[in-house]
Amino acid sequence: METRRPRTRITKSFTFDAAHWLPEVPADHKCRRLHGHTYELVVGLEGELDARLGWVVDYGEVSRAVDPVVRELDHHCLNEIPGLENPTAEVLAVWLFGRLRAQLPQLVDVTVRETPRTSAVYRPGA
């Protein structure tokens, strides 16, 4: 009888600074004005532990996939990036998942944190 390897979910965090405004909110809403955040991006990956290495995926591999995408966002105005014309945290989480999924097949969720108390999580099918 074959023994199943344990499944584990891992996370890795990244930060970037970016400006944005929300064009669809009422004119008097504070987020309608240009402002910025130090965003935290947390990627969640899940899979069976590699029998030899004992991990789901090498954290270095995660960084190699995520760093180029973070560089596209860092110190930019998010509204100017195709697909982020209305860059809410929710829209940004979905956009990031779409950009990262091909390089990280174990990706299960993306969290975008605008402040220590506000975040959006995108988990397909949830």
31 an active-site residue? yes
Whole-Å CA distances, 58 to 46, 64, 94? 12, 10, 23
Please identify which of the residues 31, 40, 61, 90 carries the catalytic annotation. 31
77 an active-site residue? no
Please identify which of the residues 24, 29, 72, 75 carries the catalytic annotation. 75
46 an active-site residue? no
Residues recognised as catalytic: 31, 75, 114
